[in-house]
Amino acid sequence: MLKFSGSSVVAALLLSVVCGSFFFCEYLIYFPTILKCAWPQLSHARGGEGAEPALRAMVLSDTHLLGAVGGHWFDKLRREWQMERAFQTALWLLKPEIVFILGDIFDEGKWSSQKHWEDDVRRFHRMFRHSTDTELVVLVGNHDIGFHYEMDWFKLQRFEKVFNASSTRIVTKKGVNFLLVNSVALHGDGCPICQSVEKDLIKLSKDLNCSLQKSQSDSKETEKCGGSQTYPPTAPIMLQHYPLYRVSDASCTGEDAAPPEERHLLFREKYDVLSKEASQRLLQWFKPRLILSGHTHSGCEVLHDNKYPEISVPSFSWRNRNNPSFILASVSSSGYSLSKCFLPEESTVIGVYCSAGACLLLLILAHCLWMKGLLQLSLCLLGKHKSL
């Protein structure tokens, strides 16, 4: 019959606490949290029809993979592991057909050397790996190519080469048009990249309008559409990094909104949000049925001109907020429905580790007291034996 000493029992308990807390915090916690999320029903969408097949789209933003200059190794390890486990768990449980990341993929793309850029890209592809059943679409943000005054052709083309696509384009899937906008280049000052992006947007606007006119058999207008590319005849869902112009986050509510002390801070045009002029041009050109944006790291819902809804998607990283989240969208050519999926809170993980640490200390203290009592008992028995 096996016999266990007190020390071996305590050692086993210590190992159980350490391994259990580590496994829970680094792996297991993501499963029950993301299992609470579900794809919204399209029948409850604004303008949706339940019989129409829905595209399952997952939308996240502002991953900010830390670079070689400002990224501490432990910060990188902790936050990148969190995003990798959250993303891989979401893919496995939710099985989206398409995933959009709304810019600021990297934190230091605006100034990283080629060597550091390649290292950042390698880490990104490892973290956000996916099967061929899921399409990954990435938008450009100011941290990827720099703010307008830092942006140049080299940085933009370097980004586009990695993701094998233009930063301004339309992605069509299951009859749904997703308009991807390089919002960093919408400064309106006539810079070469700005002119190129505006030219692309004007062409895409013409193509979409011509597609709508062809579907309505408007022969007079269709005559003007020679050589235009044909898209499904439906208003696009517009995705970009910068939000459209709004004064502040004062009207934003919810657990992922900006902190109360920050909501009334005025936004700066062309820095925090797009300018009024650029915002109005986009709305007039495309008349989107939904706008999804990032950049602020906080959630918000805004209705522009009383008919164009915009959702600001919070950051996906613990580095930017305690309760990261992403959007689940069920989309068809005539409707959409959205739900938000929250990830584990960093404070919860820290609390579990602190509780595990306290348990370890208590176990060690109890073991020390038990050993002390055992030693005193042994000395007492030894003294009695000598007296005999």
Of 156, 211, 372, 183, the C-alpha closest to 282 is 183
Place of tokens 């910068």: 242
The C-alpha atoms of residue 197 and residue 181 are separated, in whole angstroms, by 8
Instruction: Give the strand order in the sheet containing 169-173.
Output: 169-173, 176-181, 237-240, 290-293, 308-312, 300-304
362 within domain boundaries: no
Please check whether residue 385 lies inside any domain of the structure. no
- Mutual angle of helices 192-215 and 276-286, in 10-degree steps: 30
Measure the CA–CA gap between 311 and 298, rounded to whole angstroms.
10
Q: Quick check: is 274 in a domain?
A: yes
What pLDDT is attached to residue 214?
Answer: 81
Domain-located, residue 7: no
Is 62 in contact with 102 (CB distance < 8 Å)?
yes
How far is 109 from 154, CA to CA, in rounded Å? 11
E strands within 260-299? Answer: 290-293
Q: Both tokens of residue 80?
A: 């990148």
Q: By three-state DSSP, how is residue 325 classified?
A: strand
Determine the distance from the C-alpha atom of residue 67 to the mean position of all C-alpha atoms in its chain, rounded to a whole number: 18
pLDDT value for 216: 76
What's the pLDDT score for residue 380? 67
Whether residue 220 lies inside any domain: the answer is: no
The pLDDT of residue 135 is 96
CATH of the domain at 86: 3.60.21.10
Vertex 144: Cα angle to 141 and 148 (nearest 5):
65
pLDDT, residue 363, reads 76
d(CA 226, CA 222): 8
Strands 300-304 and 290-293: unpaired
Number of domains in the chain: 1
In a domain, 222, yes or no: no
- From first to last of its 388 residues, what are the pLDDT tens digits of the chain? 444 555 676 677 778 878 888 889 999 999 999 999 999 998 644 444 445 689 999 999 999 999 888 778 888 888 899 999 999 999 999 999 999 999 999 999 988 899 999 999 999 999 999 999 999 999 999 999 999 888 999 999 999 999 988 889 999 999 999 999 999 999 888 899 999 999 999 999 999 999 888 877 655 556 667 777 889 999 999 999 999 999 999 999 999 999 999 999 999 999 999 999 999 999 999 999 999 999 999 999 999 999 999 999 999 999 999 999 999 999 999 899 999 999 999 999 999 989 988 888 887 887 677 666 656 666 666 565 555 5
The model carries a pTM of 0.89
In angstroms, the Cα distances linking 138 to 49, 100, 124, 160, 222 are 29, 6, 11, 9, 33
Is residue 8 situated within a structural domain?
Answer: no
The reported pLDDT for the residue numbered 51 is 55
Range of the domain at 330: 17-36+52-214+228-350
Residue 288 domain-assigned? yes
Q: What pLDDT shows up at residue 151?
A: 92
* Element spanning 367, H or E: helix 346-387
